[in-house]
């Protein structure tokens, strides 16, 4: 408590001017005083070489108060935002994972990415260290955005205790071709494009109980973009789609079920699991969001029997940069799955089937 009581005033006149670059005040300002310095931003923006495009009227290269983009005629803008703390030490990889995670919402809605705004929290450090961290972070973001034909057009920075990153992503779509969660129909197959288990694996990593190869496999999965998967689904008469993230597989599936007024039978043994996730979940190593997600079990009809299955806990595991979950006609499911695997989604799997809603019964049944 003494550290919060006997505070030294901040000063812009240090005793030794030559150390001004490394002097770190004990008290850090909030509000606009917590912004990262202009020299850091200018150096980084010069290094990452912002691109230009006709539909971006004012973007990253312009020192304006806001970005301006042109919306194509007969199209609507689709926007999404995500923000989270770093889950690994490499800012470049973290930037790529975050960009993939944020863009997935656009892919799940059937939109084409156009641009993004970044919000970054940089750890307290000397300016040179902050510059390198921000440069590698935004380089990772730009690499993923550019591969999706989208541009980074602006953002905001602040200082904090730990590295964090968020993106507001913009995309365009034809209004009558938007994908919704409400489009599931009976006698459709459910296809999941990526394995689940990132929540328990990174919780184990924080406790030094995860093997390196498990984390490497999880990172490889998180770096896989969902863009080609979304295009594949469109070619196979997809009617509903969502991405699997913080609420876990059951949480996001339940949103689709409730919006579509249907029921679902899931095959537990068909759900793809990341290497090591079964082991860490059996040790009861869970993400801090797991207990909240577990409340979704109230929607499972045979929950008592299914809970004995070793993979059952992973249904509630929150995902970072998870896969897409989509409903396609049964007769096209195998063709769609083979196409996905050919595109590199080797963990993709048909995990269940959409059923008619039954009055008075819970909407999810687990097969095992």
Give the residue numbers annotated as catalytic, written as ranges.
Answer: 32
Q: Which residue has the tokens 């300016």?
A: 127
Which are the contacts of 180, defined by CB distance < 8 A and separation ≥ 6? 109, 240, 259
Contacts of 329 (CB under 8 A, 6+ apart): 187, 188, 189, 236, 237
Is residue 354 a contact partner of residue 188, using CB atoms and an 8 Å limit?
A: yes
| DSSP-derived 3-state class of residue 76 | strand
Q: Side by side, which strands form the sheet with 349-356?
A: 240-243, 324-329, 188-192, 349-356, 262-267, 364-367
CA 193 to chain centre: 14
Q: How many C-beta neighbours within 10 Å does residue 315 have?
A: 25
Q: Is 180 exposed, middle or buried (0-12, 13-18, 19+ CB in 10 A)?
A: middle
Angle of CA points 206, 208, 211, to nearest 5°: 110
Helix (H) or strand (E) holding 343: none
Q: How many residues does the chain have?
A: 368
Q: Cα–Cα distance between 286 and 291 in angstroms, integer?
A: 8
Candidates 253, 367, 241; CA nearest to 306 is 367
Structure tokens at 71: 């919306």
Q: Which of 36, 120, 117, 116 is nearest to 85 (CA)?
A: 120
Closest CA to 263 of 299, 238, 239, 297: 299
Residue 270 neighbours by CB distance under 10 Å: 14
């Amino acid at each position: 408590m003494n550290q919060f009581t006997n505070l030294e005033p901040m000063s812009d006149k240090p005793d030794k001017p030559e150390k001004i670059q490394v002097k770190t005040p004990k008290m850090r300002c909030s509000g606009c005083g917590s912004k990262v310095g202009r020299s850091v931003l200018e150096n980084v923006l010069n290094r990452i070489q912002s691109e230009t495009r006709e539909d971006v009227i004012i973007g990253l290269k312009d020192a304006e108060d806001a970005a301006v983009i042109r919306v194509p005629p007969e199209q609507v803008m689709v926007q999404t935002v995500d923000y989270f703390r770093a889950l690994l030490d490499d800012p470049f990889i973290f930037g790529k994972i975050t960009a993939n995670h944020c863009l997935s919402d656009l892919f799940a809605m059937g939109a084409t990415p156009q641009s993004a705004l970044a919000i970054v929290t940089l750890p307290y450090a000397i300016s040179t260290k902050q510059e390198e961290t921000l440069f590698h972070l935004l380089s990772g973001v730009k690499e993923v955005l550019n591969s999706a034909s989208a541009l980074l057009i602006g953002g905001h920075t602040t200082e904090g205790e730990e590295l964090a990153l968020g993106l507001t992503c913009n995309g365009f779509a034809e209004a009558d071709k938007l994908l919704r969660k409400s489009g599931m129909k009976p006698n459709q197959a459910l296809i999941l494009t990526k394995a689940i288990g990132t929540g328990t694996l990174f919780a184990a990593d924080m406790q030094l109980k995860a093997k390196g190869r498990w984390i490497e496999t999880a990172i490889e999965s998180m770096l896989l973009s969902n863009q080609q998967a979304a295009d594949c689904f469109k070619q196979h008469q997809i009617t509903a789609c969502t991405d699997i993230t913080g609420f876990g597989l059951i949480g996001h599936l339940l949103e689709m079920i409730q919006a579509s007024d249907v029921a679902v039978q899931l095959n537990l043994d068909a759900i793809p699991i990341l290497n090591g996730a079964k082991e860490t979940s059996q040790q009861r190593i869970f993400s801090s969001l797991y207990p909240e997600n577990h409340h979704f079990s109230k929607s499972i009809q045979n929950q008592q029997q299914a809970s004995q299955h070793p993979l059952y806990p992973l249904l509630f595991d929150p995902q970072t940069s998870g896969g897409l979950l989509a409903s396609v006609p049964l007769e096209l499911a195998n063709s769609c799955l083979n196409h996905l695997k050919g595109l590199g989604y080797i963990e993709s799997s048909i995990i269940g089937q959409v059923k008619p809603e039954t009055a008075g019964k819970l909407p999810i049944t687990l097969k095992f």
